[in-house]
Amino acid sequence: MHISSGLNNDIIRVGIVLPEDKLHTISLSWAPHLGISADFPGLGTTHQIALSTEAGKIRINGATTHELLDEITLICPDDISLLSAEYGIHVEPVIAGRGFHWEKPIAVDLPGQLKISVQDDCFKIINSVNIEAYVACVATSEMGAEAPSALLAAQTVVARCWSLALAEAKHISEGFDVCNDDCCQRYQGTTFLTSHSLKAAIDTRGEVLVYDNQVIDARYSKNCGGMVEAYETVWAGGPVPYLVPLWDAPLQRAGYAVDRIDDFWAYDDAYCSTKRFDSVNLAEMLGKVDVSGSYYRWEQQLSKSDLLKNLNKYTGIIWKQITGIRIMERGPSTRIKFLFLEGIDELGAYAEQLVKSEYGIRQMFSNSFLYSSAFVIKNAQTLKEDNHIVLQGAGWGHGVGLCQMGALGMALDKIDYKDILLHYYPGTRFTTL
Ligand SMILES: [Zn+2]
Ligand SMILES: [Zn+2]
| 268 Cα–ligand 1 center, Å | 33
d(Cα 315, Cα 354) in Å, to the nearest integer? Answer: 9
CB 164 within 8 A of CB 220: no
| 3 Cα–ligand 1 center, Å | 25
Q: How far is CA 204 from CA 78, 125, 195, in A?
A: 18, 29, 14
| 289 Cα–ligand 2 center, Å | 16
Burial of 100 (0-12, 13-18, 19+ CB in 10 A): middle
| 269 Cα–ligand 1 center, Å | 34
| 12 Cα–ligand 1 center, Å | 13
Q: Is 214 helix (H, G, I), strand (E, B) or coil?
A: strand
Count of beta carbons in the 10 Å neighbourhood of residue 206: 13
| 394 Cα–ligand 2 center, Å | 10
d(Cα 165, Cα 155) in Å, to the nearest integer? Answer: 15
| 349 Cα–ligand 2 center, Å | 43
Question: Residue 254 pLDDT more than 80?
Answer: no
Q: Is 153 helix (H, G, I), strand (E, B) or coil?
A: helix
Question: Residue 294 pLDDT more than 80?
Answer: no
d(Cα 55, Cα 121) in Å, to the nearest integer? Answer: 7
Residues in CB range of 279: below 8 A, 6 or more apart: none
Of 18-32, 261-275, 344-358, where does mean pLDDT reach its minimum?
Answer: 261-275
d(Cα 223, Cα 102) in Å, to the nearest integer? Answer: 19
CB 248 within 8 A of CB 226: yes
Ligand nearest to the CA of residue 398, numbered in listed order:
2
| 302 Cα–ligand 1 center, Å | 28
Of 6-10, 164-168, 271-275, 385-389, where does mean pLDDT reach its minimum?
Answer: 6-10
| 98 Cα–ligand 1 center, Å | 10
**pTM greater than 0.85 (yes/no):** yes
Confidence (pLDDT) at 279: 81
d(Cα 256, Cα 397) in Å, to the nearest integer? Answer: 19
Closest residue by Cα to residue 106 from 114, 115, 97: 97
d(Cα 14, Cα 125) in Å, to the nearest integer? Answer: 9
Q: How far is CA 157 from CA 23, 129, 203, 219, in A?
A: 33, 17, 10, 12
| 137 Cα–ligand 1 center, Å | 16
Ligand nearest to the CA of residue 225, numbered in listed order:
2
d(Cα 218, Cα 230) in Å, to the nearest integer? Answer: 13
| 369 Cα–ligand 2 center, Å | 19
Ligand nearest to the CA of residue 295, numbered in listed order:
2
| 274 Cα–ligand 2 center, Å | 10
| 272 Cα–ligand 2 center, Å | 4
Closest residue by Cα to residue 89 from 129, 140, 138, 41: 129
Closest residue by Cα to residue 223 from 74, 40, 409: 409
Residues 359-370 have pLDDT tens digits of: 999 999 998 889
CB 230 within 8 A of CB 224: no
Closest residue by Cα to residue 317 from 336, 289, 287, 341: 341
d(Cα 348, Cα 231) in Å, to the nearest integer? Answer: 39
d(Cα 379, Cα 377) in Å, to the nearest integer? Answer: 6
| 98 Cα–ligand 2 center, Å | 26
| 184 Cα–ligand 1 center, Å | 4
d(Cα 10, Cα 19) in Å, to the nearest integer? Answer: 26
Report the relative pairing of strands 48-54 and 57-61 from DSSP bridges.
antiparallel
d(Cα 363, Cα 358) in Å, to the nearest integer? Answer: 9
Helix (H) or strand (E) holding 404: helix 404-412
d(Cα 354, Cα 348) in Å, to the nearest integer? Answer: 19
Question: Residue 208 pLDDT more than 60?
Answer: yes
| 110 Cα–ligand 2 center, Å | 32
Residues 70-107 have pLDDT tens digits of: 999 999 999 999 999 999 999 999 999 898 778 899 99
d(Cα 332, Cα 358) in Å, to the nearest integer? Answer: 13
Sheet architecture: strand order including 350-355: 319-330, 336-345, 350-355
Ligand nearest to the CA of residue 403, numbered in listed order:
2
| 201 Cα–ligand 1 center, Å | 22
Count of beta carbons in the 10 Å neighbourhood of residue 195: 9
| 14 Cα–ligand 1 center, Å | 9
Ligand nearest to the CA of residue 400, numbered in listed order:
2
Ligand nearest to the CA of residue 18, numbered in listed order:
1
| 225 Cα–ligand 2 center, Å | 5
| 85 Cα–ligand 1 center, Å | 24
| 13 Cα–ligand 1 center, Å | 11
Report the relative pairing of strands 297-303 and 388-394 from DSSP bridges.
antiparallel
| 211 Cα–ligand 2 center, Å | 22
Ligand nearest to the CA of residue 183, numbered in listed order:
1
| 19 Cα–ligand 1 center, Å | 14
Question: Residue 406 pLDDT more than 60?
Answer: yes
Q: What is the dihedral of CA 244, 247, 251, 254, to 10 degrees?
A: -90
Average per-residue pLDDT in the chain? 91
Closest residue by Cα to residue 113 from 44, 197, 36: 36
Residue 140's pLDDT band (boundaries 50, 70, 90)? confident
Question: Residue 290 pLDDT more than 60?
Answer: no
Question: Residue 43 pLDDT more than 90?
Answer: no
Question: Residue 193 pLDDT more than 70?
Answer: yes
Ligand nearest to the CA of residue 186, numbered in listed order:
1
HEC letters along 42-86: CCCCCCEEEEEEECCEEEEECCCCCCCECEEEEEECCCHHHCCCC
| 430 Cα–ligand 2 center, Å | 22
Dihedral sign, Cα of residue 287, residue 289, residue 292, residue 295: negative
Ligand nearest to the CA of residue 99, numbered in listed order:
1
